[in-house]
Amino acid sequence: MDQKPGLFDFPDFLLKAEEKALEMTSSYRAEANKIRSFNSRKVLEAFIEENVSDFHFQGSTGYGFSDAGRETLDKIFARVFRTEAAIVRHSIVSGTHALAVAMKGNLRPGQEIIIATGDPYDTIKPVLGIDRKWGGGLNEWGIDVKVIPVKPDLMPDIQAVVDAVSDKTAMLFLQRSCGYTWRPSFSVKVLGEIIAAVKSKKSDVIAMVDNCYGEMVEMIEPSEVGADIMGGSLIKNMGGGIAPTGGFIVGTEEAVRKASDELTCPGIGADEGATLGINRLLYQGLFFAPRIVGNALEGAIWASCLLENLGFETKPRYNEVRTDIIQAIKLGSPEAQAAFCRGIQKACPVDNRAVPIAASLPGYRDPIIMAGGTFIAGSSIELSCDGPLRKPHAVYLQGGISFDHIRLGVLCALVEMQEQGLLSF
């Protein structure tokens, strides 16, 4: 019986290009695996040091008083990030929520926050009050916001940041990942240099880092080079593809306490919060996180090489040092963005027959096209791809529970572009 060509029956040209990219990236992927091994040991040590037992996986209801699982998980996150304190909660709905809680908990009317890494990510702008379409931003609290543009080489302008510091400056905000901008993501070393320069001028400035997509990508975290508080999502790196929802905040005892007061209320802070049986998934997700991040990193390195070999501009390039799991790919048109995302969606284990279309999403100014047939809705540590319909019409590939899945997804995306006449093999 004759069989029709299957979804994963790729043309010989692509298979040869895949193999070439594997060969060219071998040493870079090996380096990523060294980082994975280091971080796996760090997480395991934290579990052992906190004497984790299956008792900690039991949930609580009501107020959640004395929930040993919740309290111990907080301590483990603090150990992993080398911080004084942490709060890990399923009630934090996203990375942006974690960052907003940290900002509002630690800033007061009459103060100012300096954004040191250029134009911030779309969903942070309403929080800051830069985008006033939604209201409720820091500007309405009497908090000033200064955004310092990056230099022509797209790196932070450290001197301009330092010059902007005033008596009112209470917080320095650094966005590690590129977001939806065509700039490099910033390494922990670079973030540390900015923090040190600012604190040398005003030592009481709270250094806050948006660490989303960057956790477990390097052997050190921003909290080890001076960051006072950081936030992130559990359906990104630190949830390992298992945590069904949630977010975390880590940092100094004082900064985390103020954030927890904002998350709940003063007088309660981190001492309440029922876990409702979710603890095991959060523990297990954290334990798997270094391995899953390592897989995503390997896939991003390989994809960058393959796409560069096919003539696309990528950021970062395959042979550049990585500081997050995001792979930016400049496609040049909304049609190419749509085709690439359709191909990724076809290779997803969930909703593979869905067709991604651009749509307005909460917190975004431009329509966003997004592919992501994931087991956890919206998870971007699972294979996903998205981007705003605006120049330079780039897509941002991230995640991937397995390296094999990333490879299949990217190859499907290229075939979809070829079938639409947007790419010639």
Q: Tell me the per-residue pLDDT of 320-347, one tens digit each, with 9 for 90 and over.
A: 999 999 999 999 999 999 999 999 999 9
Reported CATH class of domain 55-286: alpha beta
User: What is residue 5's predicted lDDT score, i.e. its pLDDT?
Assistant: 58
User: What is the SS3 assignment for 382?
Assistant: coil
Nearest to 302 by CA among 323, 319, 290: 319
> Which ranges of the chain have pLDDT less than 70?
1-5, 425
> H-helix or E-strand containing 291?
helix 279-309
**For residue 233, what are its two tokens?**
């999502």
- pLDDT the model gives residue 103: 98
Give the residue from 397, 396, 410, 406 showing the smallest Cα distance to 122.
396
| Cα-to-chain-centroid distance, residue 422 | 30
**Residue range 224-267, pLDDT digits in tens:** 999 999 999 999 999 999 999 999 999 999 999 999 999 999 99
The pLDDT score that the predictor gives to residue 1 is 42
Q: Can you give the residue ranges of every domain in the chain?
A: 12-40+290-419, 55-286
pTM tops 0.85, yes or no: yes
Residue 413: name the closest of 303, 325, 333 by CA. Answer: 303
CATH number of this structure's domain 12-40+290-419: 3.90.1150.60
Q: In which residue are the tokens 């907080």 written?
A: 74
